[in-house]
Chains A and B, each alone.
Chain A
Amino acid sequence: MLRFLIARTGALVAMTLLATLVVFLIANTVPGDPVLAQLGDQAASDPVFVAQWRHEYGLDRPLWERYGIFVVGLLHGDLGRSIHSQRPVLDDVAEYGPATLELASVSFILTLAVGIPLGILAAVKRDTWIDHLARIVSLLGVSSPTFWLAFMLLAVFYGYLQAAPGPGRLDPIGLPPPTVTGAYLIDSVLAGDWDTFRDAAAHMVLPSIVLASATIGLITRTTRASMLESIRQDYVRMGRAKGLKESRVIMRHVLPNALVPVVTLGGLAYANLLTGAVLTETVFSWPGLGRYTFLSAAALDFPAIMAITLLVAITYLVVNLITDISYALLDPRVRQ
């Protein structure tokens, strides 16, 4: 197991380095001139000013040199300076990141907490009304467009029923808890501020449902299919032949095997939740990285784009590593 971990972490480092190169090359070879995007027609037509501006951001140096500077900076935690916000990109990420991380994590927990049990039930009670219900729920989740679902939920629960709070992370008059992690749910608990916790939790409900809707469907369907696959195995029949109760056969012999493919998909789903929140964040005025990314892309803000892309790549790699480890924990054959 230790050897497995070392090997996997080594691979992670190598992949990250590769990712920096790819990100750098993509960002610096795409067509589109940041000068035009940033300076406006007037300033961009003044060659002296443009040269000065390019020099200031290091855009006049050779490509390989810029890559070197980029990597060395990364090692010092320097993601560069955003052209658009005029701040270090790291500061931007620190400001918007936790909001996204919190939303994605809550959605992920919701996905697992609903998707897996629903999938198990659907498989065990195959072809009964429970199975059909699970199918409808997952179908709706996967097929309804995010913004439509977001507007509908807002309209019904906020606008009409007044059962849910409006957009944003807190009520307009609410104050954020003292920053420790940046996740309001955690920080408010740490501060013992239960009012803020309730407020933050209530604001989390609708966006996390919207964000999780598609992944819940996927996880449910995968869990069900994988359960049905593993329920047919000989060792399951063997378990019954030992005299085990059906519930124990399911939980001990079917489920652990059925979860193996679900873990793979779960990792992917989490990475998607983290990186795919643009629409949800926009509709719910959620001050997260999704919106930041959108704005940076629109402004051809290269340092920000590179940093975000890299962050996404690293997120995928780390989630992948975690997936592999869970995989190995679940299946001894992978460990070797």
Chain B
Amino acid sequence: MTQPDPVLEVRDLRTWFYTDHGVARAVDGVSFTVNAGESVGIVGESGCGKSVTALSIMRLLEEPARIAGGSIRFRGRDIVDMTPAEFRTLRGAELAMVFQDPMTSLNPVLRIGSQLNEAMTVHGPSAAVAARRGIALLGSMGITSPERAVTSYPHQFSGGMRQRVVLAMGMSNEPALLLADEPTTALDVTIQAQILDLLQALNRDFGTAIMLISHDLGVIATICTRVIVMYAGEIVEQGPTEAVLAHPRHPYTWALLNARPGLDQERGDRRLITVEGTPPDPIAHPPGCRFAPRCPFRQPVCDEHPTLQAVAPDRLARCWLAGENDAPFVRQPRPPRPAVEEIVTAAEPIMEVRGLVKHFRLRGGFLSKPSVVRAVDGIDLTIQRGEIMGVVGESGCGKSTLGRTLMRLYKPDRGSIKFAGQDIANASAAQIRPLRRRLQMVFQNPYASLNPRMTVESILAEPLRFHGLTAGAAATRARVDELLGLVGLGAAARDRYPHEFSGGQRQRISIARALAVEPDFIVADEPISALDVNIQAQIVNLMMDLRERFGLTYLFIAHDLAVVRHICDRVMVLHLGQVAEIAPADDLFTTPLHPYTRYLISAQPALHGPGAGSGRLKLTGEPASAIDPPSGCRFHTRCPIAQPVCAREAPPMRMLRPKHEVACHFAERLG
């Protein structure tokens, strides 16, 4: 082993926000080192200080944030004390950063080429050299026809392609260190897998050290050899990824790991482990252990602030209990819960869908003809009462449209929908109105779906009054309190407004609103995607509880396969408006029969160390478009086992295993 050669040494960094309400200590004494060519991950929930740490290193902090103390040494030079002009020669050259949202990281009014080239010319190379190198770089980032790409504008590219461009910018001067702040969070899992592979390749081929910031341990585990866990502005644990994943030494890491169902995990108890509460207010951190208010292992000694101490070779943890043994945190056994099969009562279909079609017409321009998005293009589906039906697929596969059409928020173009025996596909608005109460929807962004000017009480009381479910103000109020109790919010929430709540609490409010009218069927459209892992687990548990109590049926739309496997009874895989595969959850994940399902499963970041995913099924290319879907099997443009017949004939749906149907000519080859 050669002597480690640090590119970055952060010592006791304190980045504070000087707000009107007081000093928010977003980063509060953080020390770590990144060695040359290393890949380090920083994980933590939103507000833990991980992004602020990266912005401090790049000196991109904006008022009222300031570095209040500590040092940041980059290749031996202290960058905190450099003049802005001096630091600019490093920034973008030896030290680069890419940001979360590729949709907004590129300037919409400038050509890709000129944005990419300026990243180089500002540090020396002539325009001609930069232009040549830019094209080569885009090519090596996996962009097809880079010569054309440089003359394009950002809006002509998909999110995945834009993130490749952004990565090309970051890598354009072959930096010694690349900071990547949630670089894949805004992307589909399939694209995320490609971008993570690319990052790994950059790390391997160019020897660029990578500091990857993510809220998702799985993403970090995919490519990072070392992981740093942050909580409330401090590092709480640090160590080699595999060791940390196998034996977390801090209860917070333990909670993060357990809040997330594993994709390869058999479903036992379907409840996830959660820690209650939210991170402390950075203006007033608790004096003792900052995790203590939420920690299930709290001891009297925790009133004193623990230090970050070595607990094993290469491993640090900030917990009084961390040093004791290898696995100090054990899951408490819980009373057994009824298995799903018991809940699903006699097979009684609540929702029967046949040949469902929903197209959207895009208005054409003055001289171009209008195009049609075939969002849902012939779907059959039967959902039993009490069942949780999962729907997965990339963005644009039609999963949200399906959900909304079942709710009759959209009128289907063709096909039938029978809800509890009644046809609702062609029913008039007046005929549907009495059914509205029984069909409810929960959205991804709870903030957008709650009226900001209404108190929680009026939000919940409105549907009660509208459907005449409570008699009199007192009854309404009692029911509102009951609903808030059901979703784990106290009655104190009643008089507050949506913006006063955190994302998870808002989602609880929108679930309460859906529950208010005692529905039978709930479409949950990515209800947890916008939430932190631990909050996700809380919401999942809540939804499971509610189903058991009220015999609800869910259509659960999500892109996180692990969660889908964990909570759904059956799962439907959608691809460009059509069903690729539909099967009981466990069977689908242990024996996927469709190449697309395989691909989705292998793209899902799992909690192994890096390298474990090298057997991953790798697909290249972007999803085809639902405007002009490929002929025959719509997956044939990306399918690794496609045959000539696939481009000609659409595969029929076939039942190859019990309750397990698949639409692929060659499904037997994967079975």
8 Å CB interface, A233-284 against B: 233-235, 237-245, 248, 252-253, 256-257, 260
A241-B96, A332-B108 given; 10 more Cβ-contact pairs under 8 Å: A6-B366, A235-B107, A237-B99, A238-B166, A240-B91, A241-B60, A241-B97, A243-B91, A243-B92, A260-B109
The digit string for B511-555, where 1 denotes a CB below 8 A from any CB of A, is 000000000000000000000000000000000000000000000
Select one of A6, A235, A244 contacting B105, CB under 8 A.
A235
With the chains together, A233 CA to B104 CA distance in Å? Answer: 7
Q: Is B658 an interface residue (CB 8 A)?
A: no
Docked complex Cα distance between A238 and B90 (Å): 14
Residues of A within 8 A of B (CB): 3, 6-7, 10, 233-235, 237-245, 248, 252-253, 256-257, 260, 330-333, 336
CA distance A6 to B153 in the complex (A): 22
Task: Considering the complex, give the chain B residue whose CB is closest to the CB of A10.
Answer: B366
By Cβ-Cβ distance, the 5 closest A-B pairs, closest first, are A243-B92, A7-B366, A242-B92, A234-B104, A332-B153
Q: How far, in whole Å, are A299 and B315 apart by their CA atoms in the complex?
A: 93
Judge whether B107 and A257 touch: CB under 8 Å. yes
Stretch at the interface among B72-80, B116-124, B435-443, B450-458: B116-124
- Report the minimal beta-carbon distance from B196 to chain A, rounded to whole angstroms: 20
Given contacts A234-B99, A234-B104, contact A242 B91 (CB under 8 A): yes
Which residues of A lie under 8 Å from residue B108 when comparing CB positions?
235, 257, 331-333
Q: Chain B 147-191, CB within 8 Å of chain A: the 1/0 string?
A: 000000101000000000010010000000000000000000000
Asked whether B409 is an interface residue with its Cβ less than 8 Å from the other chain, the reply is no
Query: Residue A332 contacts which of B89, B91, B155, B366 (CB distance < 8 angstroms)?
Result: B155
> Which residue of B101, B110, B123, B155 is within 8 Å of A256 (Cβ)?
B110
CB of A243 within 8 A of CB of B93, answer yes
A242 to B96, CA, bound (A): 7
Complex CA gap A245/B166 in Å reads 19
A3 CB contact (under 8 Å) in B110, B153, B366:
B366
A245 and B58 alpha carbons, distance in the complex (Å): 14
A243 cross-chain contacts in B, Cβ below 8 A: 88-93, 119, 122-123
Please tell me if the beta carbons of A234 and B101 are within 8 angstroms of each other in the complex. Answer: yes
Contact of A336 among B101, B104, B105, B365 (CB under 8 A): B365
The distance from the CB of A263 to the nearest CB of chain B, in whole angstroms, is 12
**Distance in angstroms between the alpha carbons of A330 and B107 in the assembled complex:** 12
Given contacts A241-B58, A333-B155, contact A7 B104 (CB under 8 A): no
Chain B residues within 8 Å of A235, by CB: 104-108
From DSSP, what is the main secondary structure of chain B's interface residues? loop
Chain A residues, CB < 8 A from B91: 240-243
For residue B474, CB closer than 8 A to chain A, the reply is no
The reply to whether the CB of B367 lies closer than 8 angstroms to some CB of chain A is yes
Tell me which residues across on chain B come within 8 A of A333, comparing CB atoms. 108, 153, 155
Cα A257 to Cα B110 in complex, Å, equals 10
Neighbouring B residues of A245 by C-beta, 8 Å: 88, 122
User: Given the complex of chains A and B, what is the CA–CA distance between A330 and B99 in angstroms?
Assistant: 25
Q: Look across to chain B and name the residue whose beta carbon is closest to the beta carbon of A239.
A: B107
- What separation, in Å, do the CA atoms of A216 and B96 have in the docked complex? 41
Supply 20 A–B pairs (Cβ within 8 Å), ascending by A.
A234-B99, A234-B101, A235-B104, A237-B60, A237-B99, A238-B107, A238-B169, A239-B107, A241-B91, A241-B96, A242-B119, A243-B90, A243-B91, A243-B92, A243-B119, A245-B88, A253-B107, A257-B109, A330-B109, A332-B153
What residue of chain A has the Cβ atom nearest to residue B103's Cβ? A234
Tell me the bound Cα distance from A7 to B364 in angstroms: 13
Bound: A3/B93 CA distance, A: 42
Among B60, B106, B110, B123, contact of A252 (Cβ-Cβ < 8 Å): B110
CA distance A330 to B58 in the complex (A): 31
Partner pick for A238 among B105, B122, B155, CB 8 A cutoff: B105
Contact A332 B109 (CB under 8 A): yes
Give Cα distance in the complex from A336 to B366, angstroms. 11
Q: What is the bound-complex CA distance between A3 and B365, given in angstroms? A: 10
**B123 proximity list for chain A (CB < 8 A):** 243
By a CB distance below 8 angstroms, the chain B residues around A7 are: 365-367
The answer to whether A256 and B122 touch across the interface, beta carbons within 8 angstroms, is no
A3-B366, A257-B107, A333-B155 known; A242-B169 Cβ under 8 A: yes
Residues in A whose Cβ lies below 8 Å from that of B97? 241
